[in-house]
Each structure stands twice: as C-alpha cells, then as structure tokens.
Amino acid sequence: MLGWVKRFAGISALLMLFGVAESAARAQSVEKTLSNSAPAIGINTDRLSNKDLRRWNAIKQIVFAEDAEGEPLHPTLRDLWKRLERSGHVIYIEMRGGGRAVSNIAGGFYIERFDPEGVNHAAIIRLYPDTIDRAYIGPNARRHEGFIAFQGLGREERYAEVLGHEMAHAVHILSDLTRARMVEEVIQQTNELFLSYGKQNGYANIEPEMRRRLDQRDAFLKELEEPAEAAEALVWRELASGRQAKNRNRSREAFAGRW
C-alpha cells in the first residue's frame, strides 16, 4: 500500500523511499465504506475539507480559464483533466499540510485500489500546498526541460502546475494496464516489502535480492518522471503566458481608462 510517485518542490530528484503508513490505513477504511456502493468515477473531491475545497475551486477555475475569444488559456491542464474524467477510474484529490516534518514533497500519485481488469482503478492525487508555498524558485530549480518550476506564477497557479504534473502521471499510468500493474508491483509492493524488511533487519545491510528490487523500482520511477515532467513544462508555459496575456489586457484597460 505504501509508496508514491512523488513530485518534489525545488529539486527534481524523485527517487523517494516510502510513503506514510497513515495514508495506507486511511485508504483501507475509505475502501471499506465505499465497497457496497456504485464505483465512483472521475476526479473526486469527497475527501477535501471545506477549506481545501475553496482552494480546489480556485485551481479548477485556472484549469478551465478562457481568453476573450473563449479559447482555453491552459489547454494541457484542461486536456489532462478531461481525460481523467472520461477514464472510468476514480481519482481522489487529497490535500495535506506540511506537518511537523520538514518535507520537500509538492505532490504525489498513488494507486489505492488496483483493478486487475483495468476498468475501475482507484487512485489518489495528493497536493501539499504548504510545501508548494515554501518552494525555492530560482536557477537551481531549473528542470531538464529548461523551465524554472513555479517561476512567475501566483499561488494557485503553482498548485495548478503541480496538479498538471500529477494528472500527467495519472493519465500515463491508469490508461495502460501493464504500466498500472507495474506501478503496483514494482513500486508499491517493493516499498511495502522494503518497509517490513527494514523493520526486521534494519536498513544497514540490504541483501542482494532486496537491492535488486530497489534498483528496479528506482529505474522505473525515473522512467515514469519523463512524461510527467514534459507535461509540467507545457503547463508552466501555458500558465506563464496566460498570465502575460491577462496583464496585457489589464494594462490595455488601464491605458484606455486614462484616455
């Protein structure tokens, strides 16, 4: 149950070790309550508090923002969103505070219930707004794609950038049954194994078989980052240029007003 494909703020090193036990326990109890009702489908905000729902609605407005001609300002975000809505899977949105631990995690994607038929997986996209608010923005945050994460964006636009990254993971993973199974087996089961392995043997001397699994997991995690990073770069560009367009309109209006 443990282990997320995670997106860190500031740095692009993405080889996390394991997730938080609490999330697995919580996921199980949610699964139980849902098991007798019809499967939920699409992007699902049932798990958000009222405060987080307000934040979420601000993000959603960004996803669906249009220019004066009615064209989407952020087509990549909108496209990813629509693909998830149509996917047949349920993607729960969760938001978490930074908590006590100093964390660098901005967002995560996780398969909560793997459907062997590939028809109705349950997955989680989790955003960490506090971490995103605190994220370092500067030359050292430059990504492979050449953009600097969050640069020039407002608070909710940064959340939308991370959402874009996680939605790209969701589309890429959930749309391919083999890949989804690999996420479940190569990442999530390995993390679970590693956690219980560590409890029994400690983490000092890792046996070759465990080492092999971890290496395989890390290589796969790295592979999964590529399409998500590429999508995030596009999302960032669209957010940044949408902002410029808005500013242009605003200064035009101000200019017109003065005359």
Closer of 186 and 228 to Zn ion (Cβ): 228
User: 228, 231, 234, 235: which one contacts Zn ion (CB under 5 A)?
Assistant: 228
* Residues 180/173, Cβ–Cβ less than 8 Å: yes
Check residue 149 for interaction with Zn ion (CB under 5 A).
no
Closer of 7 and 96 to Zn ion (Cβ): 7
The span of 26-34, 142-150, 196-204, 221-229 binding Zn ion (CB under 5 A) equals 221-229
User: 1, 2, 4, 7: which one contacts Zn ion (CB under 5 A)?
Assistant: 7
Place of tokens 């957010």: 239
Check residue 113 for interaction with Zn ion (CB under 5 A).
no
Least distance (Å) between residue 204 CB and Zn ion: 29
10-17: Cβ within 8 A, 24+ apart: 10/104, 10/135, 10/136, 10/140, 10/141, 10/149, 11/104, 11/141, 12/143, 12/144, 12/225, 12/229, 14/221, 14/222, 14/225, 15/218, 15/221, 15/222, 16/105, 16/221, 17/191, 17/194
53 CB-contact burial (10 Å; exposed 0-12 / middle 13-18 / buried 19+): middle
Least distance (Å) between residue 45 CB and Zn ion: 21
The span of 147-155, 174-182, 224-232, 236-244 binding Zn ion (CB under 5 A) equals 224-232
202 CB-contact burial (10 Å; exposed 0-12 / middle 13-18 / buried 19+): exposed
Closer of 153 and 228 to Zn ion (Cβ): 228
- The number of C-alpha atoms within 13 Å of 219 and in the hemisphere containing its C-beta is 6
* Residues 210/194, Cβ–Cβ less than 8 Å: yes
Least distance (Å) between residue 4 CB and Zn ion: 9
Least distance (Å) between residue 14 CB and Zn ion: 6
Check residue 121 for interaction with Zn ion (CB under 5 A).
no
Closer of 65 and 171 to Zn ion (Cβ): 171
Least distance (Å) between residue 252 CB and Zn ion: 38
Site string for Zn ion, 177-216 (x = CB under 5 A): ----------------------------------------
What's the rounded Cα separation, in Å, for the pair 200 and 217? 21
The span of 65-73, 132-140, 191-199, 220-228 binding Zn ion (CB under 5 A) equals 220-228
Is 88 in a helix, a strand, or coil? coil
Contact residues for Zn ion (CB under 5 A)? 7, 228
